Amino acid sequence: MLSIGFIISLLSALFITPFVKKIAIYWGAVDQPNHRKVHSRIMPRLGGLAIYLAFLISFLLIGPKNILTWGILAGGTIIVLTGALDDRYQLSPKVKLLGQLIAAIVVVASGLKVEFINLPFDGIFIFGWLSIPITIVWIVGISNAINLIDGLDGLAAGVSAIATATILIMSLLIANNTVSLLSVALLGAIIGFLFFNFHPAKIFMGDTGALFLGFMLASMSILGFKYVTLFAFVMPILILGVPISDTFFAIVRRMVHNKPISEADKNHLHHRLLQLGLSHRQAVIFIYFVSMLFGASAIYFSQATLWGALLILGLLLLALELFVEAIGLVSKSYRPILDSIRKIFIKNEQKQENL
């Protein structure tokens, strides 16, 4: 059943995407080049509609149908409509956020929310009424995080595919058939679309695709790890490590430079890699590799002991911080750990000279 669902969505995306491209051009949903964009010519967007339709076909044919999955589909439909209108008419941030909030509320109303976590040493923490805002913030936050990394051909789609594959593997490990079926339907749709979106892209996914993929990844991560231990609660964050960390450091960067958090810039992870001399494809493939590292860490994390999980998390955070400092993701002067290491080496060299 899983392979059938994957093939249906893959073939559907391959067939539908060229038609969506024509619709985008006819409707005027195109992306104009500017100082923040990497592309230099007008490109049709709205490609996320092809991903959504391919997923929908697979879901209707073989997908698990219950109140939670129907709720996710309803919310996903609202998010796609919001993204499509933004791709065509450039909605204001408030209107776009309203659409995202409505979609998230629909999901919560269907019964999908993080209700409690099991603490180490047989403890439990029940969120109570906080489960509603926590779930809404998670869904809206991840939706926008995927949107922020959608800056290079195939980047958001590839990262989302890796995250979806990670969720699929973990759902198979815990025998969660519902999440497995949703994952293969989404994965096939993304890969089918990537044939047209990888560099040089023929169509962009636009906000239609970025918001939908973020919404689905956020919803599936809750559905798959709804009742989790404290450290397993980290797993969805690891799965979506690239968009979450890029968004986090973008906020830090803007605070450091006394700029509004919502102000766009050209210093995201993919921008920095291009500025350091990587080609378009090299930058995308490098971020794919980082996403795979996060995904593998999440899978290993789920099988590790408490102390093993802590060790993995500590090493991953240290490696992430060193990487951020090395490429100047916050600023070129932000190098606390690297500068400390440099000072230690200088002191050792001075001691050697004095001997």
Binding residues: 147, 207
How far is residue 47's CA from residue 275's CA, in Å, rounded to a whole number?
Answer: 27
Q: Are 46 and 87 in contact (CB under 8 A)?
A: yes
State the angle between helix axes of 206-224 and 177-197 in degrees (0 to 180), rounded to the nearest 10.
160
For residue 117, list its beta bridge partners: 125, 228
Helix, strand, or coil here: 171?
Answer: helix
Q: What tokens appear for 312 in the block? A: 């993995």
- Cis preceding linkage at 200, omega within 30: yes
Give the number of other Cβ atoms within 10 Å of residue 26's Cβ.
Answer: 9
Cβ-based neighbours of 196, under 8 Å, separated by 6 or more? 17, 18, 21, 47, 202, 203
Q: Are 221 and 236 in contact (CB under 8 A)?
A: yes
How far is residue 213's CA from residue 146's CA, in Å, rounded to a whole number?
Answer: 7
Q: Are 83 and 211 in contact (CB under 8 A)?
A: yes
- Order of strands across the sheet with 123-126? 123-126, 116-119, 227-229
Q: What tokens appear for 301 in the block? A: 């994390």
> Length of the chain in residues, anyone?
355
Annotated binding-site members for Mg(2+) = 147, 207
Give the number of other Cβ atoms within 10 Å of residue 177's Cβ.
Answer: 12
Residue linked to tokens 């659409």: 99
Q: Looking at residue 39, what DSSP letter applies? A: -
